[in-house]
């Protein structure tokens, strides 16, 4: 077989592996571990490590996509921050500059082909993504420490789990030629877990996050209850919120946590307080965790617990309480029968919600609901660019961002946020999307 045909077969095999998401379920002895699951996402997550002192850039060389439009964004919490939109030149090349010292997952996409590649950036060195020869091929990342580490680690973990299943399964159709001692495989797994834990690479943190979501235990010889306890401990006490925030798995981790603890309100509150305390004086991260807790509680019908969380952890008017007065240029007023939207120019979700609100403005005003918008903008020109297009009268901004008095009084830690009040000025709802309030 010539080299060209061999390379083609190798690429086809790699594509089959990379396009599939593998979920391995292994049945073990009844009194050992109920199940081990591993989320194997090689085709979805393509990562890259960079170390150095040069400006952090991604040098894209994708000749197959020459002349096509691309989008490039950074993953932050549950959102994507688009930092570059452009077109690959006639040779499929582009250079994208990234924020200095950004550590996390970036996403490059060619929309016309619905192609998305996730890339770890971790340092200040140039990243090279190059040479797919077809629409189905996977780009290569030359010298990628993080990417190679990730792929190798998943392959090793997958192999160890498969070997353990074979070592203890008495119903194999064919006996093993070289039986694998159960204890040796268990030791291999414990060593592997230690190597992941000790690694400073961001890819190692991604593996830990994915293993938590997939319910992969720290050992083969633990019960399902211990696996759940390990997941909860990882989420509430171990995972770096800073790393989680840029991983693309921010909301899934919080969803996993509340699903494990939703039957125990005391546990939910204790965990929430502990996680907020872990944020310390990191105000932006504390805001992110707080907002996620608020939205997650609402999503799972736990809003009633927010009042019990305590004002030292959560300062916000709750349903049934009098809304704070809105401060404007030295005066104030109580928002009665009002729908208040807190937003920020430049926030994609905010602009979407503002457009939705504009489309429903007549319906809301015909029902005597006063629309009030309060912006977190810092620059006057930036604010006017958005506010002048809004059809309602009450449009406010004190140009202090999230530190503005209205944002602080209403406990706004993320945008967009809606607050609904009744004719007495009592808060009757807090929403992230207009569709939660106004049904189509």
Biggest CA–CA distance in the chain, Å, is 84
49-95 pLDDT tens trace: 333 334 578 888 888 889 999 999 988 887 788 889 999 999 989 99
**pLDDT score of 17:** 36
pLDDT band per the 50, 70, 90 thresholds, residue 18: very low
Spatial CA neighbour of 113 closest among 75, 62, 40, 61: 62
pLDDT at 390 over 90: yes
Strands 326-328 and 370-375: unpaired
Weakest mean pLDDT among 178-187, 197-206, 252-261: 178-187
pLDDT at 207 over 90: yes
Domains of the chain by start residue, with CATH: 3-27+150-265 (no CATH), 48-143 (2.60.40.180), 326-436 (3.40.30.10)
pLDDT band per the 50, 70, 90 thresholds, residue 136: low
pLDDT at 46 over 50: no
pLDDT band per the 50, 70, 90 thresholds, residue 220: confident
Return d(Cα 230, Cα 210) in angstroms, integer.
13
350-386 pLDDT tens trace: 999 999 999 999 999 999 999 999 999 998 999 998 9
**pLDDT score of 241:** 95
Return d(Cα 259, Cα 228) in angstroms, integer.
11
The whole-model pTM stands at 0.65
268-304 pLDDT tens trace: 999 999 999 998 888 778 878 887 887 788 778 787 7
Weakest mean pLDDT among 31-45, 127-141, 211-225: 31-45
Angle, CA of 304, 310 and 312, to the nearest 5°: 150
Mean pLDDT of the 179-203 span = 87
pLDDT at 324 over 70: yes
Spatial CA neighbour of 49 closest among 107, 115, 123: 123
Spatial CA neighbour of 211 closest among 180, 175, 160, 253: 253
**pLDDT score of 30:** 34
**pLDDT score of 335:** 97
């Amino acid at each position: 077989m010539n080299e060209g045909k061999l390379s083609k077969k190798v690429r086809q095999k790699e594509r089959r592996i990379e396009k599939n998401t593998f979920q391995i379920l292994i049945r073990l002895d009844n009194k050992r571990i109920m199940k081990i699951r591993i989320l194997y996402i090689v085709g979805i997550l393509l990562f890259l490590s960079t170390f150095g002192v040069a400006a952090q850039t991604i040098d894209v060389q994708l000749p197959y996509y020459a002349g096509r439009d691309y989008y490039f964004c950074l993953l932050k919490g549950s959102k994507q921050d688009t930092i570059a939109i452009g077109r690959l030149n006639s040779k499929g090349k582009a250079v994208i500059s990234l924020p200095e010292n950004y550590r996390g997952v970036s996403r490059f996409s060619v929309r016309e082909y619905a192609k998305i590649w996730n890339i770890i950036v971790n340092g200040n060195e140039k990243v090279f993504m190059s040479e797919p020869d077809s629409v189905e091929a996977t780009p290569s990342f030359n010298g990628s420490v993080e990417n190679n580490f990730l792929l190798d680690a998943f392959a090793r973990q997958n192999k160890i789990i498969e070997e353990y299943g074979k070592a203890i399964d008495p119903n194999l159709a064919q006996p093993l030629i070289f039986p694998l001692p159960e204890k040796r495989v268990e030791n291999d797994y414990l060593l592997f877990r230690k190597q992941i834990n000790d690694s400073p690479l961001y890819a190692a943190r991604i593996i830990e996050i994915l293993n938590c979501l997939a319910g992969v235990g720290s050992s083969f010889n633990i019960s399902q209850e211990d696996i759940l306890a390990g997941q909860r401990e990882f989420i509430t006490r171990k995972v770096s919120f800073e790393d989680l925030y840029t991983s693309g798995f921010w909301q899934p981790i919080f969803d996993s946590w509340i699903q494990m603890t939703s039957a125990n309100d005391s546990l939910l509150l204790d965990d929430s307080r502990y996680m907020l305390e872990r944020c310390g004086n990191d105000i932006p991260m504390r805001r992110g965790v707080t907002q996620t807790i608020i939205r997650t509680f609402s999503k799972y019908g736990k809003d009633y617990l927010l009042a019990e969380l305590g004002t030292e952890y959560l300062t916000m008017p709750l349903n049934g309480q009098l809304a704070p007065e809105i401060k404007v240029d030295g005066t104030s007023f109580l928002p009665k029968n009002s729908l208040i939207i807190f937003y920020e120019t430049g926030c994609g979700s905010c602009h979407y919600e503002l457009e939705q609100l504009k489309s429903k403005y007549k319906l809301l005003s015909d029902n005597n609901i006063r629309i009030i918008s309060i912006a977190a903008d810092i620059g006057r020109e930036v604010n006017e660019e958005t506010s002048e297009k809004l059809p309602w009268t009450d449009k406010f901004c004190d140009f202090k961002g999230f530190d503005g008095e209205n944002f602080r009084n209403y406990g706004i830690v993320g945008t967009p946020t809606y607050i609904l009040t009744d004719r007495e000025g009592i808060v009757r709802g807090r929403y992230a999307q207009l569709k939660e309030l106004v049904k189509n």
